[in-house]
């Protein structure tokens, strides 16, 4: 009789241990899935912020560089030698700023004119 | 001389592109957002569309999709204007029928050269 009780107690213990282990594994799987989803959302947010920041920084830079070019090319009227030199300095610094933005945003990819690898 | 639709929400960028293309002898029609771009494309029937990728409301990519789904406008060549960091989207745009793309900050000389090249190629085969 005592042996039977001992067997029953052991079986109940094993069942409890198995159940708690199953719950622990399920909780772990859910936690992994939750973290993966959070990581994916963070990457997407980072990509969106990068694209937005890139657009907001490069748009005024394009306008600055474009108007410098129009004046330097005398499309808006003749300029003298000193004005040309000053515009070249302004244009050079615009290009430097573009490189800084590339470095900051990690977008120093090749332009369409340069060779590019195949998209995967 | 060609009629070119410039769809760009940034007024200064649109101003400088308009100035450059007008100096090159083209007639420029301007749209300030994607909806207006679609409307003006249908009314003006331009020979080329310069399309900014990031515009409020209807994005440039969405405008491109709608143009390419339109029986009349699908042959109008489109040059996408985008910021660096969006190249993957632009590659998708090229797959969806854009004739070319240019990345901000761009040189106006390069833009004008690309415009001439695309105009020389003529309407996009459908």
Q: What percent of chain B has pLDDT over 70?
A: 96
Selected for mutation to probe chain A from B84, B90, B94, B96 (highest A CB count within 10 Å) is B84
Residue B68: which of B40, B37, B98 has the closest Cα? B98
Tokens of B57: 């409301």
pLDDT reported for residue A112: 43
Query: Can you tell me the ipTM of this complex?
Result: 0.83
**Are B65 and B96 a contacting pair, CB within 8 Å?**
yes
Rounded Cα distance between B70 and B72, Å, is: 6
pLDDT at position A104: 83
Whether B7 has a pLDDT exceeding 90, the answer reads yes
Dist. CA A31–CA A22, nearest whole Å: 14
pLDDT tens by residue, A82-105: 999 999 999 999 999 988 988 887
In the structure encoding, which two tokens stand for residue B64, read together? 């491109």
Residues 6+ apart with CB under 8 A from A65: A91, A94, A95, A98, B105, B107
pLDDT score at B108? 95
Q: Which of B87, B18, B75 is nearest to B46 (CA)?
A: B75
Residues in chain B: 126
Q: What is the pLDDT of residue B35?
A: 96
Residues of chain A with pLDDT under 50: 110-120
Between helices B11-23 and A2-72, what is the axis angle to 10°? 40
Confidence label for B10 from pLDDT (cuts 50, 70 and 90): very high
Q: Which of B103, B54, B61 is nearest to B78 (CA)?
A: B61
Average pLDDT over residues B72-96: 83
- What was the pLDDT predicted at A118? 37
In angstroms, how far apart are the furthest CA atoms of chain A?
A: 113
Beta strand B48-52 with B100-104 is unpaired
Pairwise CA distance, residues A97 & A103, whole Å: 10
Beta carbons of B72 and B94 less than 8 angstroms apart: no
List the structure tokens of B94. 């090229």
Please judge whether B105 and A51 are an interchain contact, meaning their C-beta atoms are less than 8 angstroms apart. no
pLDDT at position B98: 93
- Nearest-by-CA chain B residue for A51: B85
pLDDT one-digit tens code per residue, B41-81: 999 999 999 999 889 889 999 999 999 999 999 999 999 99
The reported pTM is: 0.72
Q: Do the Cβ atoms of B107 and B42 come closer than 8 Å?
A: no
What is the per-residue pLDDT for B83?
79
CA dihedral B27, B29, B30, B31 (to 10 degrees): -150
Element (H, E) at B6: strand B3-7
Cβ distance A55 to B54 less than 8 Å, yes or no, reads: yes
Contact assignment for B13 to A62 by CB distance below 8 Å: yes
For the record, the structure tokens of B62 come out as 């969405």
Interface mutation vs chain B, best among A50, A51, A53, A71, most B CBs within 10 Å: A51
Residue in A closest to B100 by C-alpha: A112
- Residues B61 and B104: their CA atoms lie apart, in Å, by 16
């Amino acid at each position: 009789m005592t042996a039977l009780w001992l067997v029953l107690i052991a079986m109940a213990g094993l069942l409890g241990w198995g159940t708690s282990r199953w719950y622990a594994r399920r909780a772990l799987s859910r936690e992994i899935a939750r973290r993966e989803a959070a990581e994916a959302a963070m990457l997407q947010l980072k990509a969106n912020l990068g694209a937005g920041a890139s657009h907001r920084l490069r748009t005024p830079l394009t306008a600055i560089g474009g108007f410098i070019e129009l004046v330097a090319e005398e499309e808006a009227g003749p300029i003298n030698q000193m004005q040309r030199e000053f515009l070249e300095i302004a244009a050079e610094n615009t290009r430097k700023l573009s490189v800084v933005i590339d470095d900051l945003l990690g977008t120093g990819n090749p332009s369409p004119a340069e060779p590019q690898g195949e998209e995967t | 001389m060609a009629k070119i639709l410039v769809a760009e929400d940034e007024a200064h960028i649109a101003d400088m592109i308009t100035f450059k293309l007008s100096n090159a002898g083209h007639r420029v029609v301007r749209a300030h957002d994607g909806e207006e771009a679609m409307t003006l494309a249908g009314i003006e029937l331009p020979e080329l569309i310069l399309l900014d990728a990031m515009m409020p409301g209807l994005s440039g990519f969405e405008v491109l999709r709608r143009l390419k789904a339109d029986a009349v406008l699908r042959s109008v060549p489109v040059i996408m204007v985008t910021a660096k960091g969006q190249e993957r989207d632009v590659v998708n745009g090229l797959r969806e029928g854009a004739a070319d793309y240019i990345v901000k900050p761009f040189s106006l000389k390069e833009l004008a050269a690309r415009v001439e090249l695309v105009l020389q190629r003529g309407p996009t085969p459908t």
